[in-house]
């Protein structure tokens, strides 16, 4: 059984067992996606409050946080980054999809879900 949390230091890396900030194995690498950025709206697990979710951005953690800041500013809303997924509060899927398509990176952006 692998240690995932300790009352001494909090979350532990499942690979090396060290506290997450001192992780030496870098087991937190996200798998490569299919190259498509998907924008969808979700309400599951949020007591009916909708969020717009952006998945598949091919960026490292620091660049993903910077991109999330730009997306939040474009929507005038709050949000966060969780496990490589950007969550923006509210229903902004169409606006974010258009904003991401206009970026010079040339990402393929699709509207996912309903």
- Token readout for 54 is 């952006």
Cβ-based burial of 77 (10 A; exposed 0-12, middle 13-18, buried ≥19): middle
Find the farthest-apart pair of alpha carbons in the chain and give their distance in angstroms, rounded: 47
Architecture of domain 31-111: 2-Layer Sandwich (3.30)
Cα separations (Å) of 46 from 34, 43, 88, 101? 28, 6, 13, 28
User: What is the pLDDT at residue 12?
Assistant: 77
Please list the residue range(s) of the chain that carry CATH number 3.30.780.10. 31-111
User: What is the pLDDT at residue 3?
Assistant: 67
Distance CA 67, CA 107 (A): 14
Sign of the dihedral defined by the CA atoms of residues 52, 58, 64, 69, in that order: negative
pLDDT (tens digit per residue) in 13-70: 777 777 777 777 765 555 566 778 899 988 887 787 889 999 888 888 888 899 999 9
pLDDT (tens digit per residue) in 86-114: 999 988 989 998 988 888 877 888 888 76
Phi first, then psi: give them for residue 70, nearest 5 degrees.
Answer: -65, -40
């Amino acid at each position: 059984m692998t240690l995932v949390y300790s009352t001494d230091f909090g979350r532990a890396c499942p690979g090396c067992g060290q506290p997450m900030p001192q992780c030496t194995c870098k087991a937190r690498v996200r798998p490569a996606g299919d190259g498509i950025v998907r924008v969808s709206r979700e309400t599951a697990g949020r007591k009916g409050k909708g969020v717009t979710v952006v998945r598949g951005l091919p960026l490292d953690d620091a660049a993903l946080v910077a991109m999330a800041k730009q997306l939040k500013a474009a929507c005038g809303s709050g949000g966060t980054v969780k496990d490589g997924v950007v969550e923006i509060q509210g229903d902004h899927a169409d606006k974010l999809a258009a904003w991401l398509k206009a970026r010079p990176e040339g990402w393929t952006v699709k509207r996912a879900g309903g």
